[in-house]
Amino acid sequence: MTLSQEQLSDPSVRAFVAAVNAGDREAFAALLAPGATMSDDGSERDLAEWTEREIFSSGGRMDVVSEAEGGRRLVADYRNETYGSMRTAWRFEVGGDGRISRFETGQA
């Protein structure tokens, strides 16, 4: 069973998932704090390069299975045209302005 976007507790994370699933680069970029960072499977990545390759150019999509820590930790079935489907974990740091300063993802 998956959670709908509307069921996600944290509004910034909810908007992140919506932007990914819509392939909306502008909405996604607007969610990120200046200088935002990310990691994938414990390795620091260039955020712009990674998101273009792993999300936008490859049709990335997140189906959230569960959330924790007020919606800032997710387990999701993530799929794209490059790697197919995999169970992933996501952790978000959100600033007081509601913008995401960091996210970490990796296989769950």
Quick one: what percent of the chain has pLDDT higher than 90? 93
Output the CA–CA distances (angstroms, integers) from residue 80 to 43, 68, 85, in the order listed.
Answer: 20, 24, 7
Three-point CA angle 25, 77, 16, nearest 5°: 30
So what's the pLDDT on residue 34?
Answer: 96
Q: What is the CATH number of the domain that holds 84?
A: 3.10.450.50
Cβ atoms of residues 90 and 38 within 8 Å: no
pLDDT single digits (tens) 47-66? 999 999 999 999 999 999 99
Return d(Cα 19, Cα 29) in angstroms, integer: 9
Return d(Cα 90, Cα 104) in angstroms, integer: 6
User: For the whole prediction, is pTM greater than 0.85?
Assistant: yes
Number of separate domains in the chain: 1
φ, ψ of residue 96 to 5 degrees: the values are -60, -20
Cβ atoms of residues 12 and 74 within 8 Å: no
Torsion angle of the four alpha carbons 104, 30, 87, 43, in this order, in degrees rounded to the nearest 10? -30
Segments forming the whole domain that contains residue 43: 5-107
